[in-house]
Amino acid sequence: EDKVVQSPLSLVVHEGDTVTLNCSYEVTNFRSLLWYKQEKKAPTFLFMLTSSGIEKKSGRLSSILDKKELFSILNITATQTGDSAVYLCAVEVTSGTYKYIFGTGTRLKVLA
């Protein structure tokens, strides 16, 4: 059965701290790995990763994929209170058609 596991489940930090969120997966027919941010509404897309070792960056957020060890990390530097959210990892799997398997998320709270 396809599985996506995120850790930690929750995290509380202070503004300015750097955090690392983890996502490991066991799936068949891997195509890509995606990160989403969910505040009090719909998940919004952050990154899609398809190749190992290539870092994707967007401002203070960055992510990298290791397809050999089957995991990805999402880093947030100089955290701000606006970074407080649930961060979701999803793996896109394909076998003719395709679908997304989500982890349960990491709940991040950034204190002022």
Partner 1 sequence: DAGVIQSPRHEVTEMGQEVTLRCKPISGHDYLFWYRQTMMRGLELLIYFNNNVPIDDSGMPEDRFSAKMPNASFSTLKIQPSEPRDSAVYFCASSSWTGLNTEAFFGQGTRLTVV
Beta strand pairing call for 10-14 and 106-111: parallel
Check binding of 51 to partner 1 (CB under 8 A). no
Question: Which window, 19-27, 55-63, 70-78, 92-100, contacts partner 1 (CB under 8 A)?
Answer: 92-100
Check binding of 87 to partner 1 (CB under 8 A). no
Rounded-to-integer distance, Cα 53 and Cα 66, Å: 6
Among 63, 85, 105, 108, binds partner 1 (CB under 8 A): 105
Check binding of 34 to partner 1 (CB under 8 A). yes
Rounded-to-integer distance, Cα 98 and Cα 31, Å: 9
Question: Which window, 20-28, 41-49, 57-65, 67-75, contacts partner 1 (CB under 8 A)?
Answer: 41-49
Among 21, 64, 85, 88, binds partner 1 (CB under 8 A): 88
With respect to partner 1, which residue has the nearer C-beta, 17 or 31? 31
Rounded-to-integer distance, Cα 57 and Cα 28, Å: 27
| Least distance in angstroms from the C-beta of 94 to partner 1 | 9
- The C-alpha R_g of the chain, in whole angstroms, comes to 14
Rounded-to-integer distance, Cα 66 and Cα 48, Å: 13
Report helix, strand or coil for 51: coil
